Structure 1
Amino acid sequence: MNFNTRDEARNQCMLSGPLRRRGYDWWWHSFSARDVQTGEERAFFVEYFLVNPALGGERPVFGQLPENKVAGRRPSYVMVKAGCWGKNARQLHRFFGWQEARVRMGAPFEVEAGDCFASETELRGSVEVSAAEAAAHPEWMCGAGSMRWDLKLDKKIAFNVGYGTSAPLRAIKAFEMYWHAQGMKTQVSGTVWLDGRRYAVDGPSSFGYADKNWGHGFTTPWVWLSSCDLTSRITGERLADTAFDIGGGRPKVFFVGLPRKLLGAIWHEGRGFEFNFSKFWTGSRTRFECREEDERIVWHVEQDTWAARLVTDVWCEKADMLLVNYEAPDGSKRHNRLWNGGNGHGRLQLFEKRGRELVLVDDMDAAHVGCEYGEYD
């Protein structure tokens, strides 16, 4: 199967069976917009995060509250996470009890709570947290500010990892953490208001992204890199039908950790190159290094199959990033230094293998790179 295949069944809510009591599911969206007064560009994100629906009720249950930790009460809520990167980067959280939410369990997915809504083609909602509220509620795991959005989504290029999220493996919940990118290139259109300032989101220049993760735990290390804003160093032209996506770290299958592995793909002007360890017959191999420097986070990834090679180098200034917060379905918060950004820069070198010869397909600069890195002991 070609990985550039959108699949509403893989993008639907996966909180069935044991994941209803110990599981999470989220839909992540990131994009760029411009201040309508100044023209200044800003990178934003909006996420809809669901955890442990079978344990929920009228109000959200916070796993980080000391009394819940003592009682062994696990988190249960629908959380809307929204925010921005760059100067004064922030993440804002709004929580709903499960009885306040409506989640369509089939395909295509829909999530609705209050004025917040998400589907394959639309995002609407708002979140507002005062400085006093953020200080008084550390269990909310967020900062202060307000954001409102009304957006349309047009998903152009997908990364469907195939085997790892096939129906049989989804049914038996084999993996700790699953991933599906319905729109590794997504044109986002509409309006965002941040602290009262209006930002216009214009499809072709939004450099948008949409994916989802679900499971019962989080990988460590946690790695994600993606961009659909790539320019060829060979021709000097921006590549309108190109996007790449890399993610993973140390997957677990039936609670057994595998060696450090990543899933990756690049769609390059109508041609697909996939580096997917679950498709063992392709000879997929990965080496990667991530490090935290004083001023920035740096990623180096080398991916090979029998047919191709991709070398990816990305960096992002820590001043443009934030430490993103989640609690796991078991109530733990192990990732306390998970760097997350949307203003990364990088270089990708894509090769084809012809016998023992490496033939350069393209040498590309990447901007608006979505990026994450974090580890815990």
Structure 2
Amino acid sequence: MLTGALARKGYDWWWHSFTARHAKTGEEKAFFIEYFICNPALGGDAPVFCDPESAARGGRPTYGLVKVGCWGADARQLHRYCGTHSITIGSGSLDITMADCRLSETAMTGSVSVSSSERDAHPEWASDAGRLVWDLRIDKKLHYSVGAGAGSLARALNLFEMYWHAEGIRTDYSGWLELDGERYIVEPASCYGYADKNWGENFTSPWLWISSCDLVSKTSGKRLDNSALEIGGGKPRILGIPLPDRLLAYLAYEGRGYDFNFSKVWQGADVTFAFKEGADDNVWSVIARNRNAVMEVDLSCAKAEMQLMRYQAPDGTRLHKRLWNGGTGTGEIRLFARKAGTVEPIDTIAIGHVGCEYGEYQRSEQE
């Protein structure tokens, strides 16, 4: 997507998250793997970083980044950089290689290793220490298209600052990882996987994301194997003009889709949300309505299992100081049908292994 103006001031990333099990103990651990490209037209053989002083003078970073990590008691994020000239991108279908890290539509392999001494010597890497190696197959089962907001016209006119396409809201991963020498196995039935893509000129604030394909009906007791929840958005900017807080929400429910999307005006959709950072837990609440349905979502995630994600925007700024991100949230969905001015319950659904995120720019940094 990084053509035209976005080639010099833009980012493109492919995100994958899933749960694995320790090969010996069976203990669960949630992981993420992200392939990220920033300002490729400005790049060369080596990555270029940008500190606040350089950014204030108009400098910009340029690099390829493989960002990986895990959630839980030892949550961390590991960063491996390369110059954009060493990135190869295939034509047609997705096929990207950065150093020995490769991503296609159906597989991803690679490694990231950062020693404690490298971490301390290179604060510009914004990385923790550790080593992750992976070899995984990818099978995307369900997707969510946000519609015109990421359509060809919006892309051609470069309308939005941040675009999103959730091509794998239910994704089966299989294979293995090694975290600091400990092997983890990834299997489709227990991975609760997710894949999406973001690109644009800048990030959004507020920034909210909720995703789960671990759904169990509390009404019937059955696991919903053809279902997934997806919520995302914040405060979109169209041609630099901010809109009021806008979220997109979607529930794939056993073959039927419940879509709450402000860009699909015929739906009459309205989505409101609240987030609270607590002493021990972070809490999200979302209410989504359209002409035919109402969906209420409540979830929480232990802060001890989350981490504050570190991203640099293409303009060199790092405005998201408290972008909470986790992969072990739990909660509930309450789904209702709207009929003749009344609402009738359809199902109450327990959700687990929830990917969850929230962050805002600090007001002083916005101004």
Q: Which bin holds the TM-score, normalised by the shorter protein?
A: over 0.9
Gap change, CA 1:181 and 1:107, over 3 Å in 2 = farther
Query: Corresponding residue for 1:209?
Result: 194
Query: Corresponding residue for 2:59?
Result: 73
8 Å Cα contact 1:65-1:139 kept in structure 2: no
TM-score by length of 1: 0.94
Query: Corresponding residue for 1:273?
Result: 258
Query: Corresponding residue for 2:49?
Result: 62
Write the distance in 2 (CA, Å) between the matches of 1:347 and 1:64: 42
Q: Secondary structure at the match of 2:219?
A: coil
8 Å Cα contact 2:11-2:200 kept in structure 1: yes
Superposition deviation, residue 73 in structure 1: 2.1
> Which whole-Å deviations, capped at 9, do the CAs of 1:9-46 have from their partners, x for residues lacking one?
xxxxx101100000000000000000011111100000
Superposition deviation, residue 356 in structure 1: 1.1
Q: Secondary structure at the match of 1:163?
A: helix
Superposition deviation, residue 69 in structure 1: 3.7
Q: Secondary structure at the match of 1:218?
A: coil
Q: Secondary structure at the match of 1:133?
A: helix
Amino acid at match of 1:163: A
Equivalent residues in 2 for 1:1-377 (5 A)? 14-64=1-51, 68-69=54-55, 72-104=58-90, 106-376=91-361, 377=363
Q: Secondary structure at the match of 2:85?
A: helix
8 Å Cα contact 1:301-1:313 kept in structure 2: yes
Amino acid at match of 1:150: D
Q: Which runs of 5+ in 1 are unaligned?
A: 1-13
8 Å Cα contact 2:22-2:29 kept in structure 1: yes
Write the distance in 2 (CA, Å) between the matches of 1:125 and 1:64: 28
Superposition deviation, residue 71 in structure 1: 5.1
8 Å Cα contact 2:293-2:337 kept in structure 1: yes
Amino acid at match of 2:323: L
Superposed CA RMSD: 1.0
Query: Corresponding residue for 1:11?
Result: none
Gap change, CA 1:70 and 1:348, over 3 Å in 2 = closer
Runs (4+) of structure 1 exceeding 6 A deviation are none
Identity %: 50
Q: Secondary structure at the match of 2:88?
A: strand
8 Å Cα contact 2:55-2:315 kept in structure 1: no
> Which whole-Å deviations, capped at 9, do the CAs of 1:310-359 have from their partners, x for residues lacking one?
10111000000011111000000000110000000010011111111212
Q: Work out the number of aligned pairs and report it.
A: 362
8 Å Cα contact 1:177-1:214 kept in structure 2: yes
Write the distance in 2 (CA, Å) between the matches of 1:70 and 1:276: 37
Query: Corresponding residue for 1:6?
Result: none
8 Å Cα contact 1:342-1:370 kept in structure 2: yes
TM-score by length of 2: 0.97
Q: Which runs of 5+ in 2 are unaligned?
A: none
